[in-house]
Amino acid sequence: MAKRRPTGDWDALATTLGTNIQRVRVERGLSQEQVAYAAGLSRYTFQKFEKGESMPGTPANPSLRNILAIAQVLEVDIDSLLPDPLPDLRAGRP
- Domains of the chain plus CATH, in order, are 9-80 (1.10.260.40)
pLDDT of residue 46: 96
For the stretch 47-84, pLDDT in tens is 999 999 888 888 999 999 999 999 999 999 999 999 88
pLDDT of residue 3: 46
For the stretch 5-44, pLDDT in tens is 445 588 888 999 999 999 999 999 999 999 999 999 999 9
Question: How many Å apart are CA 20 and CA 26, to the nearest integer?
Answer: 10
Mean pLDDT of the chain: 87
pLDDT of residue 74: 98
Question: How many Å apart are CA 8 and CA 15, to the nearest integer?
Answer: 12
